[in-house]
A = this chain, B = another copy of it.
């Protein structure tokens, strides 16, 4: 039986700490690195971040939007980053927020979660606007190959609350509906499941008991978006060690292009999060 993504991730986070470094080659960050906003700039940026954080953290999270800006040429850089990261024994979470109805989600599953795909990663983020259950092809592909899916529940941005906080039948919020359903689906796996959720560190605790997900959390909102290590610790205080993956992007990436600056920033965040959690 294939080991679940949740279990694989947990081992690595217990060893190397809960930090995941975002790889966000936005126009603004390339400018702050004094690099051109081009495919060459994109490649330089991505590989510099990879080199700086190898051995420091267990996971990187490329933000797919910033690679897609350059079309197929940008995707070729993303493929190289994924390959090089895997060679360096890093786990890769593609922040793609994909989501469609079930027939189309087969396509996304083949892209991100199938052996042999040039974009195959350890986990991908997915959006449940078409229903959590429409994501089934992604969930099945993940289970079958020891990969994972992080479903958006409560995102770190202010505007997300207008939709995710809507309370429906029996006063259950949309974000709690997502959490409940993912927790149910994780019951199919033994131990920690393949399915995680995205839950922002800027958010209030949900009604759902976060300790009962049986899967990992991907936690944005720390650093540039305003939350800190203590906010994460408070929100997830009852969750098991190695189940909370905290993503920090701009607060680390701004330290580039100097490799030592990037590495030191990643170390500081890793140690601070490890101490707090």
Residues on A lying within 8 angstroms of B by beta carbon are 24, 26-27, 63, 65-66, 68-73, 75-76, 78-79, 95, 97-108, 110-111, 117-119, 127-134, 152, 155-164, 166-169, 174, 177
Contacts and interface: CB of A to CB of B under 8 A. Distances in A.
Contact of A157 (B71, B108, B134): B134
A86 to B, nearest CB: 14
A95 B104 CA distance: 10
Contact of A168 (B78, B160, B166, B177): B166
A98 B96 CA distance: 8
B107 A68 contact: yes
A107 B69 contact: yes
Given A71-B117, A72-B73, A73-B72, A160 B174 contact: no
A41 to B, nearest CB: 13
B157 A27 contact: no
10 contacts: A72-B73, A72-B76, A72-B118, A101-B156, A129-B129, A131-B161, A132-B159, A132-B163, A166-B169, A166-B174
Nearest to A108: B65
Contacts of A102: 157, 159
A69 B177 contact: no
B131 A162 contact: yes
B168 A167 contact: yes
